Chains A and B, each alone.
Chain A
Amino acid sequence: MSTSRLSRRSLLALTGVGLTSGCIRQLESTFSRDHQQQLSFSIKTVPADADAVATKVARYLATQLQRVGISASVVPVSREELLRSVLLNHDFDVYVYRFPLPWDPDFLRPLLHSRYAPDVGWQNPFGYGDLSLDSLLERQQTERGVVRTSTLTDAQHRIAENQPFTPVAIPHTARATRPDRVDWPVDEPIHSVAAYLGARPVETRRFPSRVPPTAAVGNVTTNESTQTTPATTDTATDAPQATNRLRMTMTDARPTENLNPLSTPFRSDGTFIRLVYDSLGRVLDDEMHPWMAASWDWLDDDSSTLSVRLRDDLEWHDGNAITAADVAFTFRFLADTSLGSLDQLVPSPEYRGRASLVDSVSAASSREVHLGFGDVDEAVALRALSVPILPEHVWEPYARPTSVSWLDGGRVTEALVRNNLEPVGSGPFRVTGTSFRESLSLEPFDAHFLATQTLDESLARFEGGFAFDGLEFIVAPSGGSAIKLLSDGVVDATAGLLSSDAVKSALATPDISVRTGVSQWCYHVGYNLRKPPFTNPRFRRAVARLVARPYLTESVFDGRAYGVMSPLATTEFSPTGESWTAVLDELRFVGNHRTGSLDTSSARSLFEDAGYTYSKSGELLVQR
């Protein structure tokens, strides 16, 4: 922009030779001004089929922006396209979507640290840069207890003040089940590894015709087919077992198209990956427990080297033995999926934050791995143990530039883009087939340590393994169709989250019950700080003040969400106190936050305060 202005000026100056200088000056100051135009930008989000809540929030925001004179339009794009353009290509103005909320707040570090601004994936997609936030995010890594809480409070202040993104709400999750068919573990959210492993068939399901209808044991309340289960184990041997599969619906068809753990556009909450791939540790009851690892110990007092011992006799789904070399390979591979074959590192965007905690890795023996950490607290370091462990013999050949690398300059490896529809993992489930955009079938992996080994306390509940012969995910295009499949008895539960409309129809359907759960996502408005006007924090703060959280949580989320000003608002790290209230006051919705109606003139003055002007017809103007 500035270069064209200069050249136009010099051109004017040149052509002006011979004219009176006063005339030239007047001409110059007239023509060299860039004319002003209405500010317009697009808000990317997913279509209602994928996530009606996101679409509604985006539409609400667009309407409010239009009221303050900004020409904002909503551009619906598919889930993978949204993730591709926001996370990989940084090709957006504003987007509305959700990011996953891992159990440890260290996820804020890759999300907002300026070092990750040129990176891809959920690594600072906004392009935010703030040295004082950087140091707070680095510090919290090394701290624990109240000290860490206080640092994270400061970090949340800074984030709220600068609004690199505007958090909107953390939704409650809702899934529908058929309690007459499957007993789910009470404490686990459905569609988690722990829930699948703990699910049990309700015995009547296998023998619908054999159960005598007389045995009405009155105090069980579900429905008429409720039975106690005497002696069914004896008859189980000669009963047909072919249909003993756990069948789920999913609304998101992406797992039928791609099962590559490293593919950012195709990954959401990671459950499918965790079914198929094991990790050294797993978060159970909010704590990291050994999973593939038998145990781990810090080697010295400075907490910098963790010695991880693998369980005995671990096997990949293809029958090969798992060794410490595979684990070492995984960490090297996540840090550089080209394994040094390209002249620059090509890290896996999906696990960048966690893999970056590990400075060095070496296989000390066939069962023991040493992970070297930088200056991080033990609790934060353990986050690194949740990355999926990949078989070296499968992935090593993909550490090369993509076959279409001439298109992109060779900075993408095959490993990042392959579909991996026949994944070789070591997880409790093995993929037996996928049908494009229709279904995904898995079966329990018999050689998995949960099935073959004696387990300690933290994993004892998984002993006995998966209680079904197979696990099947059927794509149902919407919550409504999922409930229909459920009430028809074609499936046993829904894996995808239900919209509030679907929840209502589920509750109105006999035999179906709804389970609500802990939130895993933060809906937010993301800004691209790489381009104006989003480079201006005052502008972002003004936009943030157009978001009426109580109104949105009531009308859009139907009361099933927490309106939040910080992604940590529902955790123990949620800030309190006067100074936090002061921060929030300055970001208050301009208008009635319950009805969502905007005080348009006050809102417009916010943008004027941020340095923008309005045209006579009320358009917010920017220089072009």
Chain B
Amino acid sequence: MNAPPLVSMLVSVLGGGAAALFVATLGIVGPTRVRDAYGTFRERARDASKYLGLLVVVLLVNKLARDVGPEVSWLLGWNVTGLIYAVEGNFVMHVQSLATPTLTAVLSAIYLSGYVFLLTFPFVAYFVATDRRPLKLTAVAYAVNYGIGLCCYILFISYGPRNLLPGQVESLLYVTYPQTQILTRQVNVNTNVFPSLHTSLSVSAALVAVRTYGEYPVWALVAPILASAVAFSTMYLGIHWALDVVAGALLGVASVEIADSVVDARTDETSST
């Protein structure tokens, strides 16, 4: 019944992401690479299936826990909103002093579509890449991000700046594009802001991108810029605190580290048998 606005929102957000994905696939991956990898698709999929499967399982658990998690966290969780505010004060308010309508439009698009692109493009790019490790690394890093993020959301109850400081921090995304809130509330709960998963996943994607400089030099440049913009947009739009972003960045780095060791361990295992 609230499908029409939700669907149209999904179409424009995913549409934006898909358009970027198409352009990037043509420009960064290139038809030649896709053609070269064509015969090995099935084998590549089998090779990465365990890692992708892990991500799918984590995402499913995450989806289920989104409904129950908030209730559990009110029972067990630690409300850190006041603590975060005490530490960083009005930082987000200062960030918002930069606001202009154009910047709001650009950063809203980055927060929604840019983020979707940043997270999905690696799967396309690394699936056909010569080196098969980045695909596995990305899948595991995302899974770790979600897994740890979910635990944090249960442990810490935290409302974003727009919820604690109405009138000082504007909810720029939702005030400018109210319909987006109908979409984001499907995937977000407003007590789940510490850490910023937008930031952590973007940082993970950017880190892996930098490592694949040899194969995709353009992506190694684009991804970190896009990731920084996503992280900045979360504060600019009044959704996250600076500490959420800092914690998100640390989680993003840690997730890649953990993913590294997981992929290493699995590779050792398979090569030894």
Are B181 and A488 in contact, CB atoms less than 8 angstroms apart? no
Which of A52, A73, A438, A488 meets B4, CB within 8 Å? A488
Residues of chain A with a CB closer than 8 A to B171's CB = 48, 478
* A49 vs B171: C-alpha distance when bound (angstroms): 10
* A474 vs B125: C-alpha distance when bound (angstroms): 40
Are A477 and B164 in contact, CB atoms less than 8 angstroms apart? no
Are A485 and B5 in contact, CB atoms less than 8 angstroms apart? yes
- Which residue of chain A is the closest to B2 with respect to CB atoms? A474
How many Å from the CB of A77 to the closest CB on chain B?
7
Q: Which of A49, A52, A56, A478 has the most CB of B within 10 A?
A: A49
Number of A-B residue pairs at CB separation under 8 A: 87
Are B182 and A480 in contact, CB atoms less than 8 angstroms apart? no
Residues of chain A with a CB closer than 8 A to B182's CB = 476-477, 481, 484-485
**Does B185 interact with chain A (Cβ within 8 Å)?**
yes
How many Å from the CB of B211 to the closest CB on chain A?
39
* A440 vs B179: C-alpha distance when bound (angstroms): 20
Are B81 and A76 in contact, CB atoms less than 8 angstroms apart? yes
* A213 vs B58: C-alpha distance when bound (angstroms): 56
Are A490 and B164 in contact, CB atoms less than 8 angstroms apart? no
Residues of chain B with a CB closer than 8 A to A477's CB = 174, 181-182, 185
Given A55-B163, A78-B74, also A490-B2 (CB < 8 A) = yes
Are B174 and A481 in contact, CB atoms less than 8 angstroms apart? yes
**Does A59 interact with chain B (Cβ within 8 Å)?**
yes
- Which residue of chain B is the closest to A556 with respect to CB atoms? B167
Which of A49, A437, A476, A556 meets B163, CB within 8 Å? A49
**Does B162 interact with chain A (Cβ within 8 Å)?**
yes
Binary A-proximity of B177-192 (CB < 8 A = 1, otherwise 0): 0110110010000110
**Does A207 interact with chain B (Cβ within 8 Å)?**
no
* A399 vs B171: C-alpha distance when bound (angstroms): 45
- Which residue of chain A is the closest to B74 with respect to CB atoms? A81
**Does B30 interact with chain A (Cβ within 8 Å)?**
no
Given A47-B190, A75-B82, also A438-B2 (CB < 8 A) = yes
Count A-side interface residues using an 8 Å CB cutoff: 35
- Which residue of chain B is the closest to A484 with respect to CB atoms? B178
**Does B62 interact with chain A (Cβ within 8 Å)?**
no
Interface of A is mostly: mixed
Binary A-proximity of B157-169 (CB < 8 A = 1, otherwise 0): 1010011111100
Are A49 and B190 in contact, CB atoms less than 8 angstroms apart? yes
**Does B67 interact with chain A (Cβ within 8 Å)?**
yes
* A557 vs B222: C-alpha distance when bound (angstroms): 45
**Does B1 interact with chain A (Cβ within 8 Å)?**
yes
* A474 vs B4: C-alpha distance when bound (angstroms): 13
How many Å from the CB of A412 to the closest CB on chain B?
15
**Does B175 interact with chain A (Cβ within 8 Å)?**
yes
Are A47 and B5 in contact, CB atoms less than 8 angstroms apart? no
Which of B70, B74, B163 meets A76, CB within 8 Å? B163
A:44-75 near B, CB below 8 Å: 47-49, 52, 55-56, 59, 73-75
Are A75 and B1 in contact, CB atoms less than 8 angstroms apart? no
**Does B64 interact with chain A (Cβ within 8 Å)?**
no
How many Å from the CB of A388 to the closest CB on chain B?
26
Are A48 and B162 in contact, CB atoms less than 8 angstroms apart? yes
Binary B-proximity of A485-520 (CB < 8 A = 1, otherwise 0): 100101000000000010000000000000000000
**Does B98 interact with chain A (Cβ within 8 Å)?**
no
**Does A436 interact with chain B (Cβ within 8 Å)?**
yes
How many Å from the CB of A550 to the closest CB on chain B?
17
Binary A-proximity of B1-18 (CB < 8 A = 1, otherwise 0): 110110000000000000
Residues of chain B with a CB closer than 8 A to A76's CB = 79, 81, 159, 163-164
**Does A252 interact with chain B (Cβ within 8 Å)?**
no
Are B4 and A490 in contact, CB atoms less than 8 angstroms apart? yes
Are B163 and A501 in contact, CB atoms less than 8 angstroms apart? no
- Which residue of chain A is the closest to B175 with respect to CB atoms? A480
Which of B67, B79, B174, B190 meets A75, CB within 8 Å? B79
**Does A42 interact with chain B (Cβ within 8 Å)?**
yes
How many Å from the CB of B176 to the closest CB on chain A?
9
Are B163 and A74 in contact, CB atoms less than 8 angstroms apart? no
Are B181 and A77 in contact, CB atoms less than 8 angstroms apart? no
B:64-82 near A, CB below 8 Å: 67, 70, 74, 79, 81-82
Residues of chain B with a CB closer than 8 A to A437's CB = 185
- Which residue of chain A is the closest to B186 with respect to CB atoms? A438
* A439 vs B165: C-alpha distance when bound (angstroms): 28
A:342-393 near B, CB below 8 Å: none
* A76 vs B5: C-alpha distance when bound (angstroms): 29
How many Å from the CB of B241 to the closest CB on chain A?
13
Residues of chain A with a CB closer than 8 A to B174's CB = 477-478, 480-481
Which of B81, B166, B175 meets A56, CB within 8 Å? B166
**Does A472 interact with chain B (Cβ within 8 Å)?**
yes
Residues of chain A with a CB closer than 8 A to B4's CB = 488, 490
**Does A112 interact with chain B (Cβ within 8 Å)?**
no
Are B164 and A74 in contact, CB atoms less than 8 angstroms apart? yes
* A438 vs B5: C-alpha distance when bound (angstroms): 13
How many Å from the CB of A334 to the closest CB on chain B?
27
Residues of chain B with a CB closer than 8 A to A81's CB = 74
* A268 vs B175: C-alpha distance when bound (angstroms): 26
* A344 vs B190: C-alpha distance when bound (angstroms): 39
How many Å from the CB of A71 to the closest CB on chain B?
9
* A491 vs B74: C-alpha distance when bound (angstroms): 32
Which of B67, B179, B191 meets A484, CB within 8 Å? B179
Are B67 and A478 in contact, CB atoms less than 8 angstroms apart? no
How many Å from the CB of A171 to the closest CB on chain B?
15
How many Å from the CB of A520 to the closest CB on chain B?
22
**Does A548 interact with chain B (Cβ within 8 Å)?**
no
**Does A416 interact with chain B (Cβ within 8 Å)?**
no
Contacts A75-B81, A76-B163, A488-B5 known; list 7 others, CB within 8 Å.
A47-B159, A55-B163, A55-B166, A81-B74, A436-B67, A477-B182, A478-B171
Task: Report 12 cross-chain contacts, Cβ distance below 8 Å, ordered by A residue.
Answer: A48-B164, A48-B166, A49-B163, A74-B164, A76-B163, A77-B74, A77-B157, A78-B74, A476-B182, A478-B174, A484-B5, A485-B2
List residues of chain A with CB under 8 Å of any chain B CB: 42, 47-49, 52, 55-56, 59, 73-78, 81, 247, 436-439, 472, 474-478, 480-481, 483-485, 488, 490, 501, 556
9 residue pairs, one from A and one from B, having the closest CB atoms: A480-B178, A47-B163, A48-B166, A52-B166, A484-B178, A481-B178, A73-B82, A47-B159, A48-B163
